[in-house]
Structure 1
Amino acid sequence: MTTGIVLIILSAALLHATWNTIVKTAGDRTSTLGLVALGHVIPGLVMVTVLPFPSVESWPYLIASTVIHFGYFYMLGQAYKHGDLSVVYPIARGIVPALVSLWAMLFVGEILPAQAWYGIALIAVAIQISSWAALRHGVGRAALFFALGTGFCISGYSLVDGVGVRLSGDTLSYWAWHSVLHIFIVGFIALRRGNAIRALPRRTWMIGILGGIVSMTAYGLVLYAKNFAPLGAVSALRETSVIFAALIGFVFLGEGNWRRRLLAAVLMAGGVALIGLSI
C-alpha cells in the first residue's frame, strides 16, 4: 500500500472522528444524525447533475448499501439506548476490521498477508484500550447485542461499497449517488422526529449539516482508497477514527486518561505501519 493511500485513509479517519465528536456533543443525537444525513444529500444532489451515471452493475450494491445503512442506524440507535457511547462505539468499531477482512476473503478472494493481520489485531486492541475505563465496568446484554449488530452492519456496507465502487466505472458518481440515497434515512428520521428537528436552533442545523458534509468527504476518501487497496486493510486504517476521537475527547473535551490514550495511539501507529508495509 502506497504512503499516499495510507495518508488518504488516515485523513478520512480523522474527518470521521470529527463528525462523530459533533454527534457526541449534541443534545439530541437522533435528530443530529438526521441533519448529518441531510448534509450528505445536499452536495450529492448537486454532484449528480454534472457527473455521469454509475454503471448498471453497481446499482444493486448502492441499493444494498442503503438498506444496510438503515440497519446500521437502527442498531446504533438501540445500542445508544441501552449503553453509553464510550462503551458501544469501541465494541462496534473494534470488530469491523477483522470482519471486513474475513468477508473480503470469503466473497472477493482478497487474502491479506500475516503481517497485515497483526496490524489489524494491534488496531483492534488499541480501540479497546482507548475506552478501557468504560468497558471494564461491564456491558449489558442488550447494549452488547446491538453494538455487535452495529459492527456487523458496518462490515456489511463496507464490503458492499468496496465491490460496488469498483464496478461503478466512476468513483465520484458512486459517491454522489451513495450520498443522495441518504435521503431515505433523512425521511425516516424526519417522520419519527420531525417536530424535534424543526425545534432545533439554527446553529444546531448548521453544525449538523456541516458534520454531514465532513462525513461525506471522509467516506468519499475511503471509497477512493478501496479502488487501490484490500478492503480489510482499508477498513482497519479507517477504524483508527476511534483513536482520533479519543484523542480529540482528551484534548478538547477533557475526557479520559492521557497515558491510556497515548498507549492506544502508539499501538494504532504500530498497526498502521504493519499494514502499510505489508501490502
Structure 2
Amino acid sequence: MSNKAEIDNDTRNNLRSDCSKCFGLCCVALPYARSADFAFDKDGGTPCRHLQSNYSCSIHKNLITTGFKGCVGYECFGAGQRVSQIIYEGNSWRDNKTRAKEMFDVFPIIQQLHEMLWYLSEALDFQATKPIHNDLKITFEETEHLIEQSPQDILKIDVHEHRMKVNGLLLRTSELVRPKTATKKLGKKLKRSCDYIGANLRKANLRGANLRGALFIAADLREADLRLTDLIGADFRDADLSGADLAGSIFLTQAQMNAAKGNVHTKLPANLAIPRHWGKEAQGLVR
C-alpha cells in the first residue's frame, strides 16, 4: 500500500510548466553565462536569439546537442503561465517596456513561490505527515495568497523569510517520511559531506537518506537505491541514473531528472515524466 494519499490533480497541473501559455519569460527575463550548460552569454531582460516571434524556441528539440543543457534542466513550476496569463492577463512584455521590466522582476519571485507550493503539495500528499497537515495547509494557503497579489505587492514579498518558514515544514516532513533507521543502514560508499561529484555510487544503498542539496554532478548512480530519500535541491547534472530506483523519493523535481541521464530501467515517482533525451525506449515505458 502506498504511503501517499490522493492530492488534487489540478493543483499539480497548475504547478507544471506550460510553455504554450507563456510569453517565453525564462528565455528573456533570466541571465546566463557561457558554460557547459549554455552556448553563449545572455543578459537578464534580453531575449535569447533562439526565441521566436510566437514565443517558442527554434532549437527546442536540439537543446542538448546545441549546448543548452541548462534550458533542459530548468523548471518554472508553472510560474510562466501564471505571470503571462493571470497576473498580466495575457498582455505581453513586447507591448510595453515598463511592463516588461516589471514582468521580468515578478517572474523569478513567482517561480520561487510556485516551487514552494510544489513541495508543500507533495508534503500534504504523504500519509505520514498527518500530524502536521494543518500547518502544511495553512502555509500552502498563505503561499497561494502571496501569488494572488498585484505585481507591485509581489515585488515587496520577502521571499527568503517565507522560504525559511516553508523549509521548516519540509524538514519536518522529511523526518516523518524517511525510515528512522535509514542512517544506520547506509552503505559505506556514502560520505558524510554532500559532495559526490563524479563519485562511484553504483548499486549504493541510499534508501531513506537525507541528501538535501547533495552534489551528484556526473556521479555514477546506476542501480542505486534512492527510495524514500530526501533529494530536495540535489544536483543531478549528468549523473547516470540508469536502473536506479527513485520511486517514493522525497521532493524530487522534473528539473532534476531533466538534467540527469537514465534509461528504461530507471524508476521515477509517479508525478514525474521520463525525460525525452533518455531515449525512445524509456519514453515508451509504462510504469
Same fold (TM over 0.5): no
Greater RCO (Cα-Cα under 8 Å, separation 6 or more): 1
TM-score (norm 1): 0.25
Structure with the greater alpha carbon radius of gyration: 2
- Give the helix-richer structure, 1 or 2: 1
TM-score (norm 2): 0.25
